[in-house]
Amino acid sequence: MSHLNNLKSVMISLAAEHKLPEIYQDDITTDVESLDRFDGLRLVWLLRSCGSVLVPAAYSGEFEQ
């Protein structure tokens, strides 16, 4: 199983395990489909009661001047 397919599987499993999101469940499908577009980027996946979202993750030193 590729890393991307494994990640998608884990996301779906975690959402089911925690019974989240309670509403806007389609957000999970959208997030999983979006992983292909964001391949190579570091993301944080926020799983909330009202949906989910993928957020770009800042890496150490990114905002240093």
Give the tens place of pLDDT for each residue, 15-56.
999 999 999 999 988 998 888 888 888 889 899 999 999 998
pLDDT tier at 59 (50, 70, 90 boundaries)?
low
Does residue 47 fall inside a structural domain?
A: yes
Q: Into how many domains does the chain fold?
A: 1
Mean pLDDT of 4-16: 88
d(CA 41, CA 38): 6
Q: Tell me, yes or no, whether 48 lies in a domain.
A: yes
Range of the domain at 30: 3-56
Which run of H or E residues covers position 46?
A: strand 43-48
Flag whether 29 is in a domain. Answer: yes
**Do 49 and 15 form a contact (C-beta atoms < 8 A)?**
no
